[in-house]
Every structure is written in C-alpha cells, then in structure tokens.
Amino acid sequence: MTNSSADPIQEIAVLAISSFADAPGKCLVYAEVEPGVISSNLFFQQESSNSVQFRFASQEIQDLIYSFWESGHAKVPPRSWATMQLVVHNRHFTVDFLYPDQITPDEELSDRRPRAVSVHFPGVPVDYSLAR
C-alpha cells in the first residue's frame, strides 16, 4: 500500500528493491510511458553476482509509474517525459528522464531498453530465465 503524500519516485524505488528480497545490489527500473500504455521492467545485480536479473514490474509499480507520469511531481511536469531510468544503489537513488523530443522516432523500446541497461550494467549479461 502506498502513501499518497510520499514522493512517488521514492515509493517506486522502495517497491523495486523489495521485488528482489532486499538483497544488497543495484536496481534499474526502466519505464516507457505514453497515453494509455506503459512498459516497465526491473534489472537487478546482487553485489556478488556476475549477471543481472530481469523481472517484469509488478502491477503496483506500473500503476505508480503511470500515475506519476500523469500527475507529475515537484519539478516534473505531468505527461512530460517518455522514458524513465530509476537506479537504486546503496539506499540512494537517481532518476533520469528522456523527453519525447529526445527520442529517435524510428527507434523502438527494444532498441532503447538494452542501451539503458548496458549504461548501468556495462558488460554484464542479463539473465531473463527468472522473469516473472
């Protein structure tokens, strides 16, 4: 359950990390949103692992991301961004957005997402076998 007065990005970060049993490591939430459509995935690397685990974001995380996209918050205007990269590492998080004018029109999610993953986990293979 979420707290409506809480920072939505912090809520998303907490839920993302808890999706991996609070194991120490680094988590990337990659999301793309447009009216009526959301794609959100989680990528996690435990500190002792040589691979990144992939998971589909839970419905709760997807709902939070979409609500955040629609409503905005603080310095993020509603419906302004197209992609979000939220990284949680050592109990700290950073978030980066790409805006519609920064997206190459002929690129697809399948082009952008792997590029984002490779930025945050350079040279580390992604394990899709445990996707759920």
**Which residue, chain included where needed, has tokens 């939430």?**
29
CATH code: domain of residue 108: 3.30.500
Return d(Cα 4, Cα 53) in angstroms, integer.
Answer: 30
> Which helix (H) or strand (E) is 110 found in, with range?
helix 109-120
Q: Note whether residue 21 is domain-resident.
A: yes
Report the number of distinct structural domains present in the chain. Answer: 1
> Which helix (H) or strand (E) is 64 found in, with range?
helix 59-71
Query: What is the spatial order of strands in the sheet that 126-127 belongs to?
Result: 92-98, 83-89, 25-34, 37-46, 52-56, 126-127
What is the predicted pLDDT for the residue at 62?
Answer: 97
Q: Note whether residue 65 is domain-resident.
A: yes
Return d(Cα 34, Cα 51) in angstroms, integer.
Answer: 30
Structural domain including 23 reads 8-122
pLDDT band at 132 (very low <50, low <70, confident <90, very high): low
pTM comes to: 0.91
Please write the tens of the pLDDT for every residue from 57-85: 999 999 999 999 999 988 899 999 999 99
- Average pLDDT score, the chain: 91
Please write the tens of the pLDDT for every residue from 85-113: 999 998 899 999 999 999 998 999 999 99
Tell me which DSSP letter residue 5 carries: T
Phi/psi at 44 (5° precision): -140, 135
Q: Please name every residue paired with 82 in a beta bridge, in sequence order, or none if there are none.
A: none
Question: 47: which 2 tokens?
Answer: 């500190």
What is the predicted pLDDT for the residue at 81?
Answer: 97
